Structure 1
Amino acid sequence: MGMGSKAAVSVLVLCALLAAQTMDAAPCNPAALSPCAGAIMFGGAVTPGCCVQLRAQQRCLCQYARDPSYRGYVNSPAAQNAARACGLPKLKC
């Protein structure tokens, strides 16, 4: 996964930055999940900060799963592993 992965990461970062600008306007904020980026995108370690944010955004995860911009990340095996590591129930949308 060479250039395609880098492009996908760049797009995600751009989306996160745009979402962060409207953080106060929207209750669901995908940028809040930035502490989980390594775990969700690369299967890295799940940090306590990631779990805090996953729990805080739990009610929004189905919304993200329906959004074409985030669907691939939310439904990925790495994201499911991160949710499981944080003790969240399996996503049922």
Structure 2
Amino acid sequence: MKASSILVLAAAAALVLVLAHEAEVSMAASAVTCKPTELNPCIGAITSGARPSPLCCTKMKQQSPCFCQYIKNPDYKKIVTSPNAKKVVTACGVSIPKC
């Protein structure tokens, strides 16, 4: 097989993987109900900077597809972007998206 054919096949395989991942993310995001009150177990950690509880981290991971929506809302922006919130998000292994 020619090198160019191998490159085309590799590019096609990579594209399939990317599209499959995006479809998976879209399905996961559509299954989430964006309710900031779901992050109530994190309020203590966000306000004090304390280590988040396992329940808080579970809720952060569940609500992470909603972060852009929260960031765009002035009433909820601090839930995700305050310095302590960033510590909680990082401690939970969640990333804040670029919105």
Q: TM-score range by the shorter chain?
A: 0.5 to 0.7
- State how 1:7-18 maps to structure 2 within 5 Å: none
What is the TM-score of this pair, normalised by structure 2? 0.63
Give the AA of the match of 1:73.
Answer: I
Match of 1:83 in 2: 89
Match of 1:63 in 2: 69
- State how 1:22-41 maps to structure 2 within 5 Å: 27-41=33-47
Find runs of 4+ consecutive structure 1 residues off by over 2 angstroms. Answer: none
Extract unaligned runs of 5+ from structure 2: 1-31
Give the AA of the match of 1:88.
Answer: V
* Cα distance in 1 for residues equivalent to 2:44 and 2:86: 13
* Cα distance in 1 for residues equivalent to 2:44 and 2:67: 17
Extract unaligned runs of 5+ from structure 1: 1-25
Q: 1:90 to 1:71 in 2, by over 3 A?
A: closer
